[in-house]
Amino acid sequence: MKKKKSFFLRILAVVIGLLVIFLILTVLNGTVGNPITAYLATNKIRTYVAETYSEDNLIVNRATYNFKDSSYGSIVHSPTSEDTIFRVSMRNGRIEDDYPYEVANKFTTLRRLEDALNKEVEAVIKEGFPYQMRLIGAKMPDMESQVLTLDMPYHIQKLPSPIEVIVWTSVDKPSYDIMAQRMLELRKLMEQNDLPIGIYSIRLEYPYHEENGQLMPDNFESLAVDGFPAEQLIERPDLPRILEEYAVEKEREGNKVKEAEKKGALDK
């Protein structure tokens, strides 16, 4: 009797062990994918890339699993073109790639140029704008990516679009008088460093405190002037009033757009 019981317990332990292994493999397969399937997907993607883009001598990374859509995908890049980088994915035997969107439309070029622009402008502002800030940025808001050329070199003086600088900074009590002063200081700093900024967007916030490792305003009320043209940013007594009127009109236009979008959604 004892032998039968011992044998039964051993069989039960084996079954439970196999069940645990099966459950672990199922969870892993659903989160990181199947190594064999990943290997097969990599080979199929490499074949697809070689046939579709044979002239580019592209490098295909090993496919990885995307649990969000149950696909396997590879990053493909060129050894000679920094802007030729895109993703090829395979799902249920079907292969798709985003080369036409990312590379052909020059979005990879646009992101590279804006990243370099942002770093250059941010370094100048951090060094020469002596105020507490929680956001610094620069972008080309009106840039049409199609006018760019693949792998074009970055030079801030030769960018084919106006540059917008964005700063969120703190002040004890936000006002348009202080807004005018800060914007003039920022423009002077940009000109001193030969940075051709065409648009200024500044937000004045109350002093910051740290919350979960991030700076947050003590009071979330703020003043913002977005998209102000550089040619209108000149030292004059009524500049605070001009900035306030500009901000009010900008908000009014934004509300009209939101109402139109809301109405369009309801009409559908």
pLDDT digits (tens, 9 = 90+) for 44-95: 999 999 999 977 789 999 998 887 878 899 999 999 999 999 999 998 889 9
Backbone angles phi, psi at 208, to 5 degrees: -100, 155
Query: Which secondary structure element, helix H or strand E, spans residue 13, and what is its range?
Result: helix 2-31
Query: What CA–CA distance (Å, rounded) separates 97 from 239?
Result: 51
Task: Give the closest residue to 166 by CA, choosing from 191, 140, 130.
Answer: 140
pTM: predicted TM-score of the whole model, two decimal places: 0.79
Q: Which residues partner with 224 through β-bridges?
A: 203
pLDDT digits (tens, 9 = 90+) for 166-215: 999 999 999 999 999 999 999 999 999 999 999 999 999 999 999 888 88
